[in-house]
Copies of this chain bind each other. A is one copy, B any other.
Amino acid sequence: MKNTVAIQGIQGSFHHIVADNYFANSLEVLPCETFDALVSQLLEGKTDIAVMAIENSIAGSIIPNYALIDTNDLQIVGEYYLDIQHHLMALEGQSISDIKEVHSHPMALLQCKEFFKMHPHIKLVEARDTADVARKISEENITGIGAIASEKASGLFGLPIVAESIQTIKHNETRFVIIQKINPEKSEDESKNKASLKFELSSKRGSLATVLNVMSDCRLNLTKIQSLPIIATPWKYSFFVDVTFEAYSDFEKAKSLLNLMAENFKVLGVYKNARL
């Protein structure tokens, strides 16, 4: 079995691009309709590894995905940054004036709304998946309808790009994480220089500052911090924090201190920093 990687969406989706780039095309993708389904594939052992979007430069953290990783005790074993570019595509020979409707995911339609303001003859219709519309147009030879999808989808389904990079905000960088059920090698690999942590603190004055001082003393650099109120416990917060470090021993030291200082301290993953 195996040699697959679970992705959210179908072939041609942005998750597919990340899987191919990260694993140098060595794994076959296992399409999953939702992030819940993707996690189920991992938990049920249908695959060993999955790619999951975790934050983007427009919308910030995808909190439900952090929760999926945390509650199912999954491990982050890698990360990948992708600049999301939405292209308008249609069947060969179709020009923008031939396109009467564009079907796509509500989020993609939203991100491209300025472009469509310039083309008011196009009716926007919500669909479940961006790449799936491209597949359908191609397979069923549908004229008059356009899809918003990736360059990969354009290539896979043979749909020429009618308009390039039509998203309103030109830089929409999304961070994806590579996740597994368990971290097979818990080795202190020197190439691992980034970690994702989670802990809880009360809103007592200075409690977060104290924790960050320890991290700083241990020579960890903070690259992300996100607080979330714990609904069941007023005045208590959970924090998702990413840190980078030069020496793994520094991280080990911080880990043992944080274990003592913060409640429910947990390492969500230790992996190689994709930003150099």
Q: Does A216 lie at the interface of the complex (its beta carbon under 8 Å from any beta carbon of B)? A: yes
Contact A208 B212 (CB under 8 A): yes
Residues of B within 8 A of A108 (CB): none
- Closest B residue to A241 using CB positions: B227
1/0 per residue A83-119: CB within 8 Å of B?
Answer: 0000000000000000000000010000000000000
Contact A225 B225 (CB under 8 A): yes
Copies of this protein chain in the complex: 2
Contact A220 B208 (CB under 8 A): no
Known: A227-B225, A231-B171, A234-B275. A60 touches B58 (CB 8 A): no
How far does the alpha carbon of A232 sit from the alpha carbon of B171 in the complex, in Å?
9
How far does the alpha carbon of A259 sit from the alpha carbon of B227 in the complex, in Å?
23
Known: A205-B221, A221-B205. A57 touches B229 (CB 8 A): yes
Q: How far is the CB of A190 from chain B (nearest CB, A)?
A: 20
Known: A60-B61, A63-B58, A275-B234. A216 touches B224 (CB 8 A): no
Interface centre among A60, A61, A63, A209 (most CB of B within 10 A): A60
Give the secondary structure class of A's interface.
mixed
Contact A209 B203 (CB under 8 A): no
Contact B227 A226 (CB under 8 A): yes
B-contacting residues, A10-65, CB 8 Å: 57-61, 63-64
Residues of B within 8 A of A224 (CB): 227, 229, 237
Contact A205 B220 (CB under 8 A): yes
Contact A57 B228 (CB under 8 A): yes
Residues of B within 8 A of A61 (CB): 60-61
Contact B231 A173 (CB under 8 A): yes
Q: List 4 extra interface pairs beyond A224-B229, A225-B225, CB under 8 A.
A: A126-B126, A208-B222, A209-B209, A225-B227
Q: Would you mind naming 13 contact pairs between A and B with Cβ atoms under 8 Å apart?
A: A57-B229, A60-B228, A171-B231, A203-B221, A205-B219, A205-B221, A206-B212, A206-B216, A209-B213, A222-B227, A225-B225, A225-B226, A226-B227
